[in-house]
Amino acid sequence: VYANTNRLDSALIIFNETFQLAKEINDKQNEIHSLFNIGDVYRYTGRVEKALEIFKLIERDYDIEEIHPFLIPNLYFSFTDSYLRVRDTLNAKRYNQKGREIIQHHPNSHHRMTYYSLSFRVDTMCGNLNSAIKNYMQFKELSDSINSVKFKESLANFQILYGLNVKEEEIERLRLDNEFKDLTIKQRRIVNYGSGFVVFLLLVVIFQIYRSKIKSKEKNVILQGQREELAAANEELTAINDELHIQREELQFALTVLKETQNQLIRSEKMASLGMLSAGVAHEINNPLNFIKGGVLAIENYVKDNFGDHLVEVSPLLEILNIGVERAANIVASLDDYSRKDDVKITEVNINSVIESCLMLLQSQLNNRISIEKDYTNHSLSIESRDGKIHQAFLNILTNAVQSIEGDGTISITTNKKNKSMIVVVADTGCGISEEDIIRVTDPFFTTKDPGKGTGLGLSITQNIIEEHNGSISFNSEMGVGTTVTVLLPIKRVKI
């Protein structure tokens, strides 16, 4: 009762007491049942590791042949669900196969339905989409069949009980009508034959009424028993519906995970294609840039040697050419981040120091119009990174925050520690990003800035750097209010 009403802590107490009593009287059957129920309570409350310990105890310390055949597949399927919850697909598949072998010898529709449901989850987690779809169709077919049969049986039983009740009431009414007629005739005879028979007839009437009441009580007892059986059937049907509802939610969750995995695969394929394209473009553009850079240097030396008096007039033009070449080289370098990883040494950097260094570089852009609010944690927040990578990531984030503020504004920077990870939050009071654009801000070449003010690669490269360090980055923005960027990075050593 406690388990079915979701009072699992109370159920756990009762199951533990049952296990202790069974152990005292050496009742192995109830010991196993109690342990299994305890494991299931741990499983349903999210304490999967504890549940696995209980199930392994049953499998190790008890003879499987002593278990009721109906409980063996339940044990293996509980193993399977627990391993799925900790994403151990190998053991999940192994125990699900054991359950299948048992139900082949002891067929049961509910066990088969559970097997196909778990097979669908295993295949979904392993990426076997065709097999997952086949198992789901088998599960759906069994589920619909079981529900249809149970509903028809319950409806047929109800119709039979109702028909019997109507017929019994009709028989009782006819019987009472006949008794009433008999009484009327007897009363007339009493009047006709004299008052001597009055006492006798009254005794007969009393006896008939008493007998009717006894029969009525017996019928009420029968009807009450039938009502209780019908109520028990309804409760069983309700429990089955609740179980199916839970399984449907689990399937919906599995489908959601499958869709998320598919989106990640699509994005990975897109980024891989972009990396190949970027490598080719960077190679083809770098050569002409080197020619231009060398030509500008040669022109500058030539003017110095032969036309020194014109150097002042020519210098601005040469400076413009150098700026253009440098900008093109920076764009090529940004593209090159998609096709390779720098082969430079890994050093330990402090996040607070990295942010301070980036703010120094952006000091000229702050221009006394943007105030910086800092809330750094006292914990040591260090990460091992290739030199310059983390600097580049946070410089891109802070540059976007500065460029989003027109006029006066504020940028708030918070660092904190959570378990074995560090959290960095950068919030600005800029123009914000629309809901349509927020999901695309890390796409390569996507930008909301005016032409010439951005390449659309900054946040895309930033995301690659953060993920390269086993971290994550998320964005939250509201138009006219500002944008908040949250970066989560592991403090422990990472292999890059």
Asked if residue 359 and residue 305 are part of one domain, the reply reads no
Lowest mean pLDDT segment, chosen from 25-29, 41-45, 234-238, 332-336: 332-336
Q: What is the pLDDT of residue 330?
A: 58
Task: Quote the CA–CA distance of 259 and 141 in Å, as a whole number.
Answer: 23
Whichever domain contains 431, its CATH number is 3.30.565.10
486 and 350 share a domain?
Answer: yes
Q: Number of structural domains, the chain?
A: 2
Domain that holds residue 313: 269-336
49, pLDDT greater than 50: yes
Q: In this prediction, what percent of the chain has a pLDDT beyond 70?
A: 82
CB 125 within 8 A of CB 257: yes
* Residue 478 and residue 354 in one domain: yes
Confidence class for position 338, pLDDT limits 50, 70, 90: very low
The CA-atom distances, in angstroms, between 251 and each of 127, 256, 471 are 15, 9, 29
361 & 394 share domain: yes
How far from the centroid of its chain's Cα atoms is residue 491's Cα?
26
Which tokens belong to 133?
């779809």
Between residues 265 and 401, which one has the greater pLDDT? Answer: 401
In a domain, 244, yes or no: no
Q: Among 57-71, 301-315, 394-408, where is mean pLDDT lowest?
A: 57-71
367 shares its domain with 481: yes
Give every CB contact of residue 220 below 8 A, 6+ residues apart in sequence: none
Judge whether 183 and 209 are in contact, CB under 8 Å: no
> Which residue would you say has higher pLDDT here, 184 or 69?
184
Which pLDDT value is given to residue 337? 47
Residues 371 and 320 in one domain: no
Cα gap 340→317, rounded to integer Å: 35
The mean pLDDT of the chain is 81
Flag whether 157 is in a domain. Answer: no
Same domain, 295 and 405: no
Residue with tokens 């202790």, as numbered in its chain: 20
Predicted model pTM = 0.36
Q: Which letter, b or e, does each residue of 98-107 get, where b requires 16 or more Cβ atoms within 10 Å of its Cβ?
A: bbbebbeeee
Sign of CA dihedral 141, 142, 145, 151: negative
Domain check: are 319 and 413 in the same one?
Answer: no
Position 496 confidence tier, pLDDT thresholds 50, 70, 90: very low
Q: Torsion-angle region of residue 59: left (phi > 0), alpha (psi -120 to 50) or beta?
A: alpha
